[in-house]
Amino acid sequence: MKTPYCGALRVKRREMDQLKVSIGEELGRSNEIATQAASVSDRIRLERALASEDCGLASPAYFARIRDELAALQAKQQIVDARLDDLREEARTAFGTLRAVETAAEAFRLDVERQSLSSEQAALDDRSAGELLRASQLRRARLRSRVA
């Protein structure tokens, strides 16, 4: 059944779907950054192991660059985490609004159904009262015809 809330429901459901997609994309970015950070950490460990075996291989410039790369990845991760938090908060708010609109639509449907059932019951009551009145009038008419 169509309600005045159907348009708002469609909009809110699309908004929720878009938020789910955005959250999924940000989670993908977060996983990608975590994979890159793990790779950089592995390279640091490998280079440290190699440098500990041969002092001639130690390169402070390399370690500084790789630490900067790791710091940049951590900064990116913080940005993605903040964006994820914002999107999750937005999703919570949108879900609350969606639930409110769904509740209003359901209340509207129930009210229309209740009104329909009430009018149907009133029509049945009127029909029954009319039949009772006709039966009563018929009974009176029969009694009058017997008395007369």
Residue whose C-alpha is closest to residue 29's, from 63, 73, 64, 71: 73
* One-letter amino acid of 45: R
Q: Is the pTM of this model over 0.75?
A: no
User: To the nearest whole number, what is the mean pLDDT of the chain?
Assistant: 91
Mean pLDDT value of segment 80-99: 96
Strand, coil or helix: 5:
coil
Would the pLDDT of 71 be above 70? Answer: yes
Would the pLDDT of 66 be above 70? Answer: yes
Residue whose C-alpha is closest to residue 29's, from 82, 89, 96: 82
Residue 57 confidence class, pLDDT cut points 50, 70, 90: low
> What's the pLDDT tens digit per position in 5-40?
899 999 999 999 999 999 999 999 999 999 999 999
Residue whose C-alpha is closest to residue 19's, from 115, 97, 132, 131: 97
Would the pLDDT of 53 be above 90? Answer: no
Please answer whether residues 12 and 55 qualify as being in contact, where contact means their C-beta atoms are separated by less than 8 angstroms: no
Tell me the C-alpha distance between 48 and 22, whole Å.
Answer: 39
Would the pLDDT of 94 be above 80? Answer: yes
- For the chain, helix (H) and strand (E) counts, in that order, are 2, 0
* One-letter amino acid of 95: F
Residue 58 confidence class, pLDDT cut points 50, 70, 90: low
Tell me the C-alpha distance between 36 and 38, whole Å.
Answer: 5
